A and B are shown apart, each in its own frame.
Chain A
Amino acid sequence: MALDIVQAGPLSLLQDLGRYGYQDVGVTPGGAMDTHAFHWANKLLNNPANAAQIEITMGPFKACFKQATSFALCGADVVATLNGNKIIPWSSWFAKAGDILEIGYPRQGLRSYLAVSGGFFCPKTFGSVSTVMRNKLGGLSKKGSKVANGDIIPFIAKVQPHTRKVPQQFIPEYKSVINIGVLTTYQFHQFSTEAKKTFFNELYTVTSEIDRMGYRLKGKPIEFAQQSFVSEGIALGAIQIPANGQPIILMRDRQTIGGYPKMGCVCNRDLNILAQATPGTQIRFFEQDLYEAEAELHQEQHYFFKGNNDRDY
């Protein structure tokens, strides 16, 4: 009862919602980069919200189901087939034993989430399955290795009575110009009026230096007078402004502390959009109200965790 990996692609990782409670000793939380797609993939299968999935960055990806199961695919706009028959993302499907799933290079977006009914069975390291290659933690090996050709990823075969689709209004479009909401916290108020104006009025481009730790952007430099800065805890979505003035947005695998001034944080909703952005995507920042963002996240968590056993997460 397993998924046989035929072609893992450039970067496929076992992920859940992350490893919490160890940031005080320098362990990054990690977890699915696009939690919106991750949540929906589990929801389509009635899985626990934290059930482990494979995060497939780019592709191509090819695998064989050794046992009949229901599975779901969410995230990037990809051409995917089951035994050569086209399947569309943001929905769940049946697979028979021996069926071959193939996922191509995304037309839009960057990461696909593959979930099976009941979740992939993977041992947890420090409370989580999440693979952090840099910290050598998580994944099948428990040592942070990515999914490789020939890997056999176990699951408990379970076929759901129906296949389901995510309602259209919840399926994001990955555009070439995206609007990103910023919570104006951390050192935001210590930046000059000029710097803030630049930040909100200029377009910033996603460079090719993007990974699970951070997204480096390029655009009109943002100035900050203070040179040295005492290292402090880095929250998810923090927008660091290093000496060259080019923003770096810190993602799931970020380092836990750092010594750059920060313009604030990207709100959770838009981090999911950013996690799907490819090099060349242009970003327009806007100011996002923090309590509105919190209410939105609260509502989302309530919906996706409804009926879940909390102790699992």
Chain B
Amino acid sequence: MQVNLVNENSVIIYFSDTVCAETTDEITYACQLFRSELNDTLSDIVPSYTSILLSCNLRKTGLQNFVINVRRVLNQLGNVGLTNLVRNKIVLPVYYGQEVALDHRDVSLHTGLAFSEIVKLHTEECYRVFAIGFTPGFAFLGNTPKQMTIPRKASPRLNVPKGSVAIADRQTAIYPSQSPGGWQVIGRTPIDLLDDSEECLSKFAMGDEVRFESIDKQTFLAMGGQL
């Protein structure tokens, strides 16, 4: 694995050319190791589908030393394997009712599947967090079953409601806050995904396992969901 310089205090490491659960596992584990081994020389870490961007604090280390330490951790990663990988499991309740599944018609039309079938497919799969970005706590989850593949909307919505569960290509995601967005909305979760009182801010972390569970309208409202 190569450590590529990026700027005065950052390097990027590419783990693979393909987006898959194995790559995600490797990256998740590497992130855990980097955090524990690089301590306060590490200022930021940005994992994504196939890479990790690492930034160092130049008041604690020089770039050359940082690269040496990053290589050392990577060697360690090769020796230990993924046996120690800690993986969070999250089950998220979703109300798939028509009044919140804003794009249920388009999704059914495009896939040729009844919306009940879409819900079944969406809840049967176990997803992994491949990356987090776009907005705080916006997790890119994959892969969705092939039958429900659908492109993004031709023109994005200006305001996707908070908690909206959506699909695009072979991925699914939840909008943690109201924002513009072009994904096809199929439901809504009553769960708050952002917590600015907590140290972790986001419910999701890279590599987490996520499942969706269908709930009825009453449960959705009882859990604090907003229509």
Q: Which chain A residues have a beta carbon within 8 Å of chain B's beta carbons?
A: 20-27, 29, 125-126, 134-137, 142, 183, 185-186, 230-238, 255-258, 265, 267-268, 290-291, 293-294, 297-298, 301-302, 305, 310
Across chains A and B, which 7 residue pairs bring their CB atoms closest together, nearest first?
A233-B53, A233-B46, A257-B133, A25-B202, A265-B7, A235-B10, A294-B8
Interface extent on B, as a size class? Answer: 35 or more
Instruction: Give Cα A273 to B177, complex, Å.
Output: 34
Instruction: Give Cα A26 to B45, complex, Å.
Output: 11
Q: Chain B: which residue is nearest A185 at the CB level? A: B6
Q: A24-B206, A232-B53 are in contact. Are A298 and B62 (CB under 8 A)?
A: yes
| Chain A: minimal CB distance from B145 (Å) | 21
Q: Which residues of B contact A233 (CB under 8 A)?
A: 12, 46-48, 51-53
Q: Is B55 an interface residue (CB 8 A)?
A: yes
Q: Give 29 pairs: A residue, B residue, CB < 8 Å, sorted on A.
A: A22-B201, A23-B46, A24-B31, A24-B45, A24-B47, A25-B204, A26-B133, A27-B201, A142-B196, A185-B4, A230-B19, A230-B51, A232-B50, A233-B46, A235-B6, A237-B7, A238-B7, A255-B133, A256-B132, A257-B48, A257-B131, A257-B133, A267-B8, A290-B5, A290-B8, A294-B62, A297-B9, A297-B58, A298-B62
Of B6, B31, B49, B132, which is in contact with the most chain A CB atoms at under 10 Å from its CB? B6
The contact of B59 among A21, A23, A125, A305, by CB within 8 Å, is A305
Interface hit among B135-143, B151-159, B217-225: B135-143
Q: Which residues of A contact B69 (CB under 8 A)?
A: none
Q: Which chain B residues have a beta carbon within 8 Å of chain A's beta carbons?
A: 4-10, 12, 19, 31, 43-53, 55, 58-59, 62-64, 131-138, 140, 177, 196, 200-202, 204-206
Q: Which residues of B contact A21 (CB under 8 A)?
A: 43-44
The contact of A136 among B5, B44, B177, B202, by CB within 8 Å, is B177
| Chain B: minimal CB distance from A308 (Å) | 9
Instruction: Give Cα A25 to B205, complex, Å.
Output: 7
Instruction: Give Cα A257 to B206, complex, Å.
Output: 13
B12:A24 contact, CB within 8 angstroms:
no
A25:B48 contact, CB within 8 angstroms:
no
Q: Chain B: which residue is nearest A142 at the CB level? A: B196
Q: Which residues of A contact B59 (CB under 8 A)?
A: 301-302, 305, 310
Q: Which residues of A contact B19 (CB under 8 A)?
A: 230
Q: Which residues of B contact A257 (CB under 8 A)?
A: 46, 48, 131-134
| Chain A: minimal CB distance from B211 (Å) | 20
Q: A25-B201, A297-B58 are in contact. Are A291 and B49 (CB under 8 A)?
A: no
| Chain B: minimal CB distance from A127 (Å) | 10
The contact of B63 among A232, A256, A291, by CB within 8 Å, is A291
Q: Which residues of B contact A231 (CB under 8 A)?
A: 48-49, 131, 133, 140
Of B12, B133, B137, B204, which is in contact with the most chain A CB atoms at under 10 Å from its CB? B133
Q: Chain B: which residue is nearest A126 at the CB level? A: B201
Instruction: Give Cα A233 to B51, complex, Å.
Output: 8
Q: A186-B12, A232-B53 are in contact. Are A135 and B136 (CB under 8 A)?
A: yes
Q: Which residues of B contact A24 (CB under 8 A)?
A: 31, 44-47, 132, 205-206
Instruction: Give Cα A302 to B57, complex, Å.
Output: 12
| Chain B: minimal CB distance from A25 (Å) | 4
Q: Which residues of A contact B200 (CB under 8 A)?
A: 25
Instruction: Give Cα A55 to B199, complex, Å.
Output: 27
Of A26, A29, A234, A256, which is in contact with the most chain B CB atoms at under 10 Å from its CB? A26
Q: Chain A: which residue is nearest B10 at the CB level? A: A235
| Chain A: minimal CB distance from B135 (Å) | 6
A256:B7 contact, CB within 8 angstroms:
no
Q: Which residues of B contact A126 (CB under 8 A)?
A: 196, 201
A185:B5 contact, CB within 8 angstroms:
yes
A235:B55 contact, CB within 8 angstroms:
yes
Of B52, B59, B136, which is in contact with the most chain A CB atoms at under 10 Å from its CB? B136
